[in-house]
Amino acid sequence: MRLSDITIHRKLFLLVLILVCGTLITAGFALNFNKSDILEGRKARIQSVVQAGLSQIQALSAHLDKGTISQQQYDRQLLELIHATRFSGSEYLYLFNLDGINVAHPLMPELRGTNQMDMQDEDGTYITREMLEGVKANGSVFWQFRWPKPEGGPAVSKLGYAEQVPGTELVLGSGVYLDDLEAIFQARTNTYLGITLAVLLAALIGTYCIARNITKPVGRLARQMNTLAQGELDVELIDTTRRDEVGDIACAVQVFRDHLIENHRLRLIQEQVIFLETFDPVTRLHNRQALGEAINKEIARHDRDHKQLAVIVIRLDLLHEITIEKGSETRDEVLIALAARIHDKLHADDILARLSENTFGLLLPNVESRESLESNCRQLLETIAQPIPLESHHIQLSGRLGISVFPDDGGYDFQLIGRAESTASLAKRQERDLMFYDPRALNETDHSIELWQEMQKALEQDQFYLVFQPLFDLKDNTLISAEVLIRWEHPEKGFISPAQFIPLAEQSGLISRLDAWVLEAVAKQIRNWQDRQLTPPRIAVNLSGISFLRPDFIDTLTRIYGRYNVSLDHLELELTEGVLIDDLDRISDQLNSIRATGVSISIDDFGTGYSSLSRIKNLAIDNVKIDRSFIDDLDNCAQDLKIVEAIILMAQGLNLSVIAEGVETQEQLTILRQQGCDTVQGFFLSRPLKVDAFEELLEQDLVIEVD
């Protein structure tokens, strides 16, 4: 069993058991060392007595050697010395020679002159022989034997010590009786045992109190954690006021509970956002994003099967007028009824979606022929034209159908939907009920051809110029960057709106050249600022999906900025949501490669239908820009406010910065600041400025007013 498998309560009990055993073992060693210390003290005492006698015998021997005393006097004084030396009542000195002959014994004079080599105690120990062997080997010896006391009685343990008299054949010895050691040791044992038991008892009581103070709240916290893990968030934590580690854990559990509550709230918001990302809240149909994803899935399948699919955009006439006359509730009733009616006429694989206020989108994945498709569209028009009964009256609508077919009319969902929408708009202008996409009908008008030709000349003659719309940081209310926009000043026709020439550039294939011109113009402007010792802000450039997905885009980008010796850290690329519907692995690789150069990435017009937070969370991007359609009515529309709040919360949860575009009122700015938006731009703060005016704004070190 591993230690980690044992409960804290049992671990504490085991710890106490180890401490008790350790204390008892320590006490045992202490008693044993104490006994040894007493015995060493006895040894030191008899050794000092013997050595004192040795010094006296050496003094007598010195007098004998000098002739100051005779041999007879020496022998007499030696006997007197031995007989006179008594200590501690029962201890005495005795004298032997190295042959075991007793020279003098104060208590048994009859032993004098006798050989005592065979003298034994009651245990069979040869007392004299052991003494002389130790002396001959080491010059002195300690040894133990059993011998009766002089006053009689049974033999008791005795410690003997003997040492050879230097320069003689004599051995002087003595001994001390050890019968009192047991009593001393027993008394000290009782004392040690009493102290040890008292200490252990106090330790056990203290340990129990401490263990209870630990195990009880820890067990309570464990139960509370299990309760939280099961999703029950109404848990009362009572240990957060403690100042120990248990209190720290309780505080951490409280923070964990608060995070769970917040995550639960965010999950509800996320579910709402996910629903809004996928479904239209009024009709419960798929929205533009979901329809685009479905189209792409069908395109991937049809690429393998080599089949056709059709995208139909249904533009409803007079729906806007119904809203004005009858109100939004009546409009919603009409839409719900019409959506249910159309849905009943569809096949299981067909997908109906709501694209905008007065537009439906329809995906037909299995198109047999153009004739059968047109026949189905005629039936769809008849279904739409049938009166819709309301409470007090009937409403009859008509529709305009624009049709695009894969693969002839496009290879991506945004192309198929966009071209079907353009065709539906053209059908309304020409008062036709349905039209198939025809690029000649849409683009090859005299005006479009002329504009296309003029745009090529404008690129060659450098008729385009840049304007800069400032972006402001809402944390410190300062200008931090600018979005660069392209403008066209025709030498004869004057200002031409980007809404005219940019869509034409996308349709005619000029958009990549236009993007390259903008990137180079930005690099040139940054170089100009740096040469004039000005600090350039980060510049955001709108980039088309066509340019972004080109295999040579990164080489083109690095070549342009390398030519002007400008760091790509100054550049931010804004991509529309439509770019993200391409192959995710391909997009991710391209984004990672671009980010590696130092360029920042923003997703423009976020929320309009193509992408989702669940899709972009794994992509290397820095910012999301909330589409201005959610900002326009932010202070009046609760639904827009909820969507903006959800986007900000979820984006910042993914460590993405949030930019709101199209801020035109103080109320909108106030709401965005309250919701925690990071950056804003719009006419309320500044219109797009030419370079001179923008530089003046930079030099003013402008700070927006805090409301």
Domains by residue range for the chain, with CATH: 3-179 (3.30.450.20), 185-275 (1.10.8.500), 279-443 (3.30.70.270), 448-699 (3.20.20.450)
pTM summary value: 0.43
Distance CA 457, CA 444 (A): 18
- Residue 106 carries which DSSP code? S
- Residue 176 carries which DSSP code? E
Spatial neighbors of 518 by CB under 8 A, at least 6 apart, are 466, 484, 486, 541, 542
E-strand ranges in 497-611 read 538-543, 571-576, 600-606
Long-range contacts of 322-325 (CB under 8 A, 24+ apart): 322/395, 323/357
First-residue to last-residue Cα distance in the chain: 66
SS3 291: helix
The CA-based angle 506-303-545, given to 5 degrees, is 25
Using the predicted structure, report yes or no on whether residue 394 has a pLDDT greater than 60. Answer: yes
Q: Is 517 exposed, middle or buried (0-12, 13-18, 19+ CB in 10 A)?
A: middle
575-611: pLDDT as tens digits: 887 677 656 777 888 899 999 999 999 988 777 654 5
pLDDT at 629: 86
238-296: pLDDT as tens digits: 777 777 777 777 787 777 777 777 777 777 767 666 666 678 888 889 888 889 889 98
Instruction: Place 614 in a pLDDT band, splitting at 50, 70 and 90.
Output: low
Instruction: Place 208 in a pLDDT band, splitting at 50, 70 and 90.
Output: confident
For every residue of 505-538, DSSP letters joined together read HHHHT-HHHHHHHHHHHHHHHHHHHHHTT--PPE
481-507: string of b/e by CB count within 10 Å (b at 16+)? bbbbbbebeeeeeeebeeeebbebbbb
> Which range is least confidently modeled, 102-106, 238-242, 470-474?
238-242
pLDDT at 705: 60
Mean pLDDT of 325-342: 87
129-179: pLDDT as tens digits: 999 999 999 999 998 888 888 777 788 888 899 999 988 889 999 888 887
pLDDT at 168: 87
Using the predicted structure, report yes or no on whether residue 382 has a pLDDT greater than 60. Answer: yes
Higher confidence at residue 304 or residue 663? Answer: 663
CB-based contact 358:316 (threshold 8 Å)? yes
Distance CA 145, CA 157 (A): 6
Spatial neighbors of 386 by CB under 8 A, at least 6 apart, are 341, 396
pLDDT at 89: 64
Distance CA 129, CA 106 (A): 20
CB-based contact 161:46 (threshold 8 Å)? yes
Instruction: Place 448 in a pLDDT band, splitting at 50, 70 and 90.
Output: low
Cis peptide before 407 (omega within 30 of 0): yes
Higher confidence at residue 34 or residue 495? Answer: 495
pLDDT at 613: 60
Best-predicted range by mean pLDDT (220-234, 248-262, 468-482): 468-482
Mean pLDDT score across all residues of the chain: 84
- Determine phi and psi for 607, rounding to 5 degrees: 100, 0
Instruction: Place 49 in a pLDDT band, splitting at 50, 70 and 90.
Output: confident
624-661: pLDDT as tens digits: 999 888 898 888 888 889 989 988 988 888 889 999 99
pLDDT at 306: 66
pLDDT above 70 coverage of the chain, percent: 92
Using the predicted structure, report yes or no on whether residue 444 has a pLDDT greater than 60. Answer: no
pLDDT at 148: 85
